[in-house]
């Protein structure tokens, strides 16, 4: 990914739409950067969004807390991880019940039933390939690429 949002410059919207996804559970780092940008873009594309609080983090507590507050007020449901897991269980059980109601063959919970939900974890380049101090000092990275480095 080439920007803070997992949507910008990627085929993600088309992929999600093609799969019939309507809900995203987003986690990753940094809460105030990549996660927030992805959440805002997800809402702009009309997805329902949840952010499990235990699945996001930031460099400092203040921007982390402010970003969570802002996302919860405007763009997403900031929830406990347990609530997100319960949601997966409920939606899976509902889909199994719906499949059982429409077929003569018994459907068990072990049968994979597609759900309109996907987990998106924005990844920053520094997570993919650790950067060296040499890269920073040689000018290969722009100013502010790694705050506090």
| Contact in structure between 120 and 4 (CB atoms under 8 Å) | no
Q: Which residues are catalytic?
A: 34
User: DSSP code of 31?
Assistant: I
Q: Can you tell me whether residue 120 is helix, strand or coil?
A: strand
| Contact in structure between 118 and 20 (CB atoms under 8 Å) | no
| Contact in structure between 145 and 48 (CB atoms under 8 Å) | no
């Amino acid at each position: 990914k080439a920007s803070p949002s997992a949507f910008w410059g990627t085929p993600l919207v088309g992929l999600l739409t093609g799969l019939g996804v309507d809900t995203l559970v987003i986690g990753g780092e940094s809460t105030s950067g990549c996660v927030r940008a992805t959440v805002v873009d997800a809402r702009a594309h009309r997805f329902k969004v949840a952010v499990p609080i235990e699945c996001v983090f930031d460099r400092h507590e203040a921007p982390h807390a402010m970003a969570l507050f802002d996302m919860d007020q405007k763009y997403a449901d900031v929830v406990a991880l347990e609530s997100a897991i319960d949601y997966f269980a409920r939606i899976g059980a509902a889909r199994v019940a719906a499949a059982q109601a429409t077929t003569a063959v018994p459907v068990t919970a072990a049968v994979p039933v597609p759900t309109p939900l996907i987990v998106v974890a924005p990844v920053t380049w520094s997570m993919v390939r650790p950067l060296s101090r040499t890269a920073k000092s040689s000018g290969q990275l722009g100013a502010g690429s790694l705050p506090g480095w």
